[in-house]
């Protein structure tokens, strides 16, 4: 299980290559890559701040939950911090399980957590200046799908 | 001298990101920061602002030592 | 949109790198990679047969459905045929959408179709000889989740 | 001379994968193949076996030309 923050751009494909290599009993690998949208020019740069050490530890607690809940063989989470340009990957999540249902659901679960409750602070630098942003109502609703299930 | 860290909008409001502050407890630290900057003092007690001492979230007061790291965490944006 | 059959092993990471490059409005890329399981020695080799031309065309019809149903920006499906060793990728599906829910659901939908109804014939070569296999009851149930939704 | 293709378990049963057969219709083709190999004839009409002429699935009979490609598709395994 790896959880990493990266100050520099990364290639989700290289992460998937490393993650899927040499798995003879895994069967299923699901991934999600979140990319910075240009919003047709409305967002020039996204800036993400983490609390190094604390952020990884908090993500690690949810990752442990996901491993147990979905019977994962392994998972990887890589998250950009710092200034991110349009089209650049922000987050990469990979999950490995025996069967596809568990791999998909765990990846979905982890993304819902990361988008709504992980310790990141996000600023959008657009043509009209910068603003801090919070999770959308949809992000909260997505995460709540998992409560009590 | 506890080390104080501010994140997200709190940092923009305060105009600093980390500082050393002499305080024996979290309550004393909050008082000192509020005396210096009333807006920041209010914001640190605002809705959804969590406090971590040595990377563990604490509620209420907590004793601080000279090597404590105190982080004020405004509502998280998610990734 | 690309739909390809491959007689030789492929690297899912290289596919993801190519698929996610230069997308400034996409926001979300989901992938699934199915790997051949060794089943602790019970399956030595998996052999997959397709009907070239027909198989891609049938997959293409479902891919068009997925694009419309989930509002996808793009998708890619790569499927191995021939003899596949344990740990080798069998199938790779990538979906691109504005938001993660659509990308995840479309990827899930496409995999359910591919596992139960795509024109492939699958033989397992194990220590006790070879046998042709059919979709599992779970595979059919997974696909039926999408009917009438 | 239509070209006949067998897939999956049908190929193993017949012992061949593709052949040229002279037949003016799908029904005539089925009859010729069944005369030669009764087990194969039965299997080609078995449950879930589809037939594609020139890569389009057909139900019932169909006319064949000299360049027709006829594929017998047993129940699909999925990928």
pLDDT on residue A83: 96
Is A114 in contact with B75 (Cβ distance < 8 A)?
no
pLDDT, tens only, C13-59? 999 999 998 888 889 999 999 999 877 666 678 999 999 999 999 99
For residue A86, being part of any structural domain is answered with yes
How far is residue C134 from each of residues C48, C91, C138, D8, D48, measured CA to CA in Å? 12, 17, 11, 11, 12
pLDDT of chain A along its 149 residues, tens only?
999 999 999 999 999 999 998 888 889 999 999 999 877 666 678 999 999 999 999 999 999 999 999 999 999 999 999 999 999 999 999 999 999 999 999 999 999 999 988 999 999 888 888 889 877 778 778 888 888 66
* A136-147 tens-digit pLDDT: 778 778 888 888
Does A149 reside within a domain? no
Rounded CA separation A48/B79 (Å): 8
The pLDDT value given to residue C43: 63
Tell me whether residue A141 is in a domain.
Answer: no
Q: pLDDT at position C126, please? A: 83
Is residue A61 a part of any domain in this protein?
yes
Q: Cβ separation of C16 and A28 shorter than 8 Å?
A: no
CB contact under 8 A, D71 and C51: yes
- Note whether C35 contacts A26, CB cutoff 8 Å: yes
The answer to whether residue A35 sits within a structural domain is: yes
Domain-embedded: residue A25: yes
Burial D40-71 (b: 16+ CB within 10 A, else e): bbebbeeeebebbbbeeeeeeebebeeebbbb
Q: What is the pLDDT of residues D6-52, one digit of tens each?
A: 999 999 999 999 999 999 999 999 999 999 999 999 999 998 899 99
Rounded Cα gap, residues B40 and B46, in angstroms: 10
Q: How far is the alpha carbon of D15 from chain C, nearest alpha carbon, in Å?
A: 15
Q: Which helix (H) or strand (E) holds A91?
A: strand A89-97
Q: Is A2 helix (H, G, I), strand (E, B) or coil?
A: strand
- The pLDDT of residue A42 is 66
Residue C147 within a domain:
no
pLDDT at C41: 65
**Would you say how long chain B is, in residues?**
79
As for the ipTM of the complex, it is 0.90
| Secondary structure, 3-state, C33-72 | EEECCCHHHCCCEEEEEECCCHHHHHHHHHHHHHHHHHCC
* Number of compact structural domains in chain A: 1
Within 10 A of A144 (CB to CB), how many other CB atoms are there?
11
Instruction: Write the CATH number for C42.
Output: 3.90.1170.40
DSSP secondary structure code for residue B25 in this structure: B
**Closest approach of D49 to chain C, Cα-based (Å):** 12
A98 touches chain C (CB under 8 A): yes
The tokens of A123 are what?
A: 């600023």
What are the helix (H) ranges across chain A?
A: 12-20, 54-70, 100-116, 137-144
* C39 part of contact set with chain D, CB < 8 Å: no
Q: What is the pLDDT of residue C42?
A: 66
* Dist. CA D64–CA D29, nearest whole Å: 9
Q: Is the pTM of this model over 0.95?
A: no
Q: Catalogue all structural domains in chain D, each as residue range(s) with its CATH number.
A: 2-73 (3.10.20.30)
The CA–CA distances, whole Å, from A63 to A3, A13, A113, D58, D69 equal: 9, 21, 10, 50, 53
DSSP result, C16-31: HHHHHTT-SS--EEEE
Q: Average pLDDT, stretch D53-64?
A: 95
- Whether A37 is in a domain gets the answer yes
pLDDT in tens, C67-98: 999 999 999 999 999 999 989 999 999 999 99
- DSSP helix/strand/coil, C86: coil
CA distance linking residue C27 with residue A91, whole number of Å: 10
- D57, C119 in Cβ contact below 8 A? no
Q: Quick: pLDDT tens for B5-63.
A: 999 999 999 999 999 999 999 999 999 999 999 999 999 999 889 999 999 999 999 99
* Structural tokens at position A42: 């409305």
Determine the structural domain holding residue A12 and report its residue range: 2-135
Q: Three-class SS of residue A149?
A: coil
pLDDT in tens, B67-78: 999 999 999 887
Question: In this complex, do C121 and D71 lie within 8 Å of one another by their Cβ atoms?
Answer: no
Average pLDDT, chain C: 92
Mean pLDDT throughout C131-142?
Answer: 81
- pLDDT for the residue numbered A136: 77
Taking the Cβ of residue A8 and every Cβ of chain C, the question of whether any pair is shorter than 8 Å is answered with: no
Cβ–Cβ < 8 Å for B6, A47 = no
């Amino acid at each position: 299980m790896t959880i990493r923050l990266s100050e520099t751009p990364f290639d989700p494909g290289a992460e998937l290559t490393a993650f899927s290599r040499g798995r003879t009993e895994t069967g299923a690998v699901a991934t999600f890559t979140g990319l910075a949208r240009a919003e047709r020019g409305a967002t020039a740069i996204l800036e993400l701040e983490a609390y190094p050490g604390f952020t990884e530890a908090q993500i690690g607690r949810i990752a442990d939950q996901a491993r147990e809940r979905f019977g994962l063989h392994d998972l990887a989470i890589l998250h950009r911090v710092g200034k991110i340009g349009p089209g650049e990957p922000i987050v990469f999540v990979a999950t490995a399980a025996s069967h596809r249902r568990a791999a998909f659901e765990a990846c979905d679960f982890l993304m819902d957590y990361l988008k709504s409750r992980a310790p990141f602070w996000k600023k959008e630098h657009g043509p009209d200046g910068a603003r801090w942003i919070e999770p959308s109502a949809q992000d909260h609703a997505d995460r709540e799908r998992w409560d009590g299930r | 001298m506890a080390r104080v860290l501010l994140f997200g909008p709190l940092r923009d409001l305060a105009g600093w990101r980390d500082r050393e502050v002499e305080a024996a407890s979290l309550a004393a630290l909050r008082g000192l920061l509020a005396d210096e900057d009333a807006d920041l003092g209010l914001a640190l007690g605002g809705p959804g602002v969590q406090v971590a001492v040595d990377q563990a979230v604490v509620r209420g007061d907590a004793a601080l030592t000279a090597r404590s790291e105190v982080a004020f965490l405004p509502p998280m944006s998610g990734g």
